[in-house]
């Protein structure tokens, strides 16, 4: 009797369990739907930050990395062989052009100069005597007291002695030049390096290292490269400017402006191995803030873009279709506006097409937006303005 009653009871229990599970699932789905619809019903305007589209003059520049080099570098060498008597400079100090740097023993060359002077005096005495003989023989020939052959020989001797005196003068000049080489003078003004030869040593004109190296560091040069794609922009700026283009140098590890100078060289060919063009700027460097071998950041100022439309760079968004920005409508809703960006620098985007001055664009919180969404401005961003360095670059280029 018990086995017969067990089967219906088991079926009843299973059915009850299934009903409980179905009820629990329904309750969960209902409350989940309520949870999803509740925020939508309570959602309000989306908080974002906005900024106005400004119209202003924007300095346009190209950035690169450069190396500071001396404006001129000379390895001072001896031009004659001899013993180095003394040096006239202090290592690491500035020297002026024409300053005595070293003295080579002059005694041998002084003796050669004295010998040449004496030879000239001897030849001049013989020339004077021959000229007197020429005058006498000229008179005697007119009186038929001497032969024409004797007169011609005397005239030839005078000419020969005149040539000898000229040769003596040339020898004297040569000896003076050689003697002057015993005093080694600074060919340029600049900073001397380490002394390479000490007094007492024999120096030779063929020595490769020289005596000392002079680097001109005021003015000083900065050599830098830019991609070959920038050549046309640089060339157009050069042709359109009445003054040299301005070049600014900055420290590699900060935004501190080190020096401002002018473009002195746009190299006459593009380096095909690197795809770059080489340029050089010249800088006045009285405080020696630039030093040969130093790496610096460089900006070449091409000029100003007059009354350009600008927005903060954060307003520019990108998609597969190109660049766009969220524009705020009069009713505080937003729309997607396709834009054309000319340039982005110093956190500022220059807009060619797509925006008008005075429009407001979203600069923060775009990820929460969709076209037509209503927004509230959490705090308008400051109107975009060129960075301080860029403003200074603009003034420098004028």
Right CATH number for 106-181 from 1.10.287.470, 1.10.10.10, 1.10.287.1080, 3.40.30.10?
1.10.287.470
Residue range 339-352, pLDDT digits in tens: 998 888 878 889 98
Q: Where are the alpha helices (DSSP H) in the chain?
A: 2-42, 107-142, 148-180, 231-240, 388-397
Residue 327 burial by Cβ neighbours in a 10 Å radius (0-12, 13-18, 19+): buried
Is residue 221 scored above 90 in pLDDT? yes
Stated as kind and residue range, the H or E segment containing 331 is none
Q: Are 89 and 95 in contact (CB under 8 A)?
A: yes
What is the structure's pLDDT at 144? 83
Which structure tokens are listed for 124? 């001049």
Q: Residue 106 has what pLDDT?
A: 95
Angle subtended at Cα 297 by Cα 295 and Cα 298, rounded to the nearest 5 degrees = 120
* C-beta separation of 33 from 271 below 8 A: no
Give the pLDDT of residue 9.
55
Residue 296 clears pLDDT 70, i.e. is over it: yes
Q: What is the pLDDT of residue 344?
A: 84
22 falls in which pLDDT band (50, 70, 90)?
Answer: low
**Structure confidence by residue, pLDDT tens digits, 56-75:** 888 888 999 999 999 999 99
> CATH 2.40.420.20 residue ranges in the chain?
46-59+306-397
Which has more confidence, 382 or 52?
52
162 exposed, middle or buried (CB, 10 Å; 0-12, 13-18, 19+)?
A: middle
Cβ proximity of 100 and 183 under 8 Å: yes
**Lookup result for tokens 């003054």:** 243
Residue 18 has pLDDT above 70, yes or no: no
% of the chain surpassing 70 pLDDT = 84
Please determine, for residue 5, whether its predicted confidence score (pLDDT) is greater than 90.
no
Confidence band (pLDDT; 50, 70, 90) for 41? very low
What average pLDDT is seen over the chain?
Answer: 85
pLDDT in tens, 76-99: 999 999 999 999 999 999 999 999
What pLDDT is stored for residue 240 in this prediction? 86
> pLDDT higher for 379 or 133?
133
Q: Which residue has the higher pLDDT, 5 or 135?
A: 135
pLDDT at 35: 45
* pLDDT value of position 173: 96
Of the candidates 267, 283, 284, the residue with the CA atom closest to the CA atom of residue 225: 267
In this model, does residue 223 exceed pLDDT 90? yes
What is the average per-residue pLDDT within 120-128? 93
Of residues 393 and 166, more confidently modeled: 166
Per the model's pLDDT, the better-predicted residue between 342 and 196 turns out to be 196
Tell me which CATH code domain 46-59+306-397 carries: 2.40.420.20
What pLDDT band is residue 119 in, cutting at 50, 70 and 90?
A: very high
Query: How would residue 305 be classed by pLDDT, with cut points 50, 70 and 90?
Result: confident
DSSP for 202-215 reads: EE-TT-SS-SEEEE
Q: Where in the chain is the domain with CATH 1.10.287.470?
A: 106-181
pLDDT tens-digit series, residues 256-289: 899 999 999 999 999 999 999 999 999 999 999 9
> What's the pLDDT score for residue 23?
59
How far is Cα 35 from Cα 56, in angstroms, rounded to an integer? 50
**pLDDT at residue 112 tops 70:** yes
């Amino acid at each position: 009797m018990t086995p017969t009653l067990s089967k219906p009871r088991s079926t009843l229990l299973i059915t009850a369990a299934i009903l409980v599970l179905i009820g629990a699932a329904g309750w969960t789905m209902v409350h989940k739907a309520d949870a999803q619809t509740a925020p939508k019903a309570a959602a309000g305007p989306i908080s974002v930050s906005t900024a106005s589209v400004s119209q202003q003059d924007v300095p346009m520049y190209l950035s690169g990395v450069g190396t500071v080099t001396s404006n001129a570098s000379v390895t001072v060498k001896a031009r004659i062989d001899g013993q180095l008597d003394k040096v006239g400079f202090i290592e690491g100090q500035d020297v002026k052009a024409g300053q005595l740097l070293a003295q080579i023993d002059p005694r041998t060359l002084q003796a050669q100069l004295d010998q040449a002077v004496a030879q000239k005096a001897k030849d001049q005495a013989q020339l004077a005597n021959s000229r007197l003989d020429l005058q006498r023989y000229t008179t005697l020939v007119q009186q038929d007291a001497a032969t024409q052959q004797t007169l011609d020989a005397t005239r030839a001797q005078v000419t020969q002695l005149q040539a000898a005196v000229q040769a003596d003068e040339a020898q004297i000049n040569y000896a003076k030049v050689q003697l002057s080489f015993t005093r080694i003078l600074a060919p340029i003004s600049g900073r001397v390096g380490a002394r390479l030869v000490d007094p007492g040593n024999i120096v030779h004109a063929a020595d490769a290292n020289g005596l000392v190296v002079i680097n001109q560091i005021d003015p000083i040069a900065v050599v830098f490269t830019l991609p070959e794609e920038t050549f046309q922009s640089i060339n157009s700026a050069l042709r359109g400017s009445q003054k040299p283009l301005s070049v600014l140098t900055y420290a590699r590890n900060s935004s501190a402006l080190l020096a401002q100078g002018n473009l002195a060289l746009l190299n006459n060919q593009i380096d095909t191995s690197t795809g770059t063009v080489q340029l050089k700027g010249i800088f006045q460097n009285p405080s020696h803030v630039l030093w040969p071998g130093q790496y610096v950041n460089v900006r070449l100022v091409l000029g100003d873009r007059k009354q350009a439309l600008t927005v903060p760079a954060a307003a520019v968004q990108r998609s597969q279709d190109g660049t766009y920005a969220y524009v705020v409508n009069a009713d505080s809703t937003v729309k997607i506006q396709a834009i054309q960006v000319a340039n982005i620098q110093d956190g500022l985007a220059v807009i060619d097409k797509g925006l008008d001055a005075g429009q407001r664009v979203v600069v923060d919180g775009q990820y929460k937006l969709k076209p037509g969404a209503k927004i509230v401005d959490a705090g308008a961003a400051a109107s975009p303005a060129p960075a301080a360095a860029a403003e200074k670059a603009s003034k420098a280029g004028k």
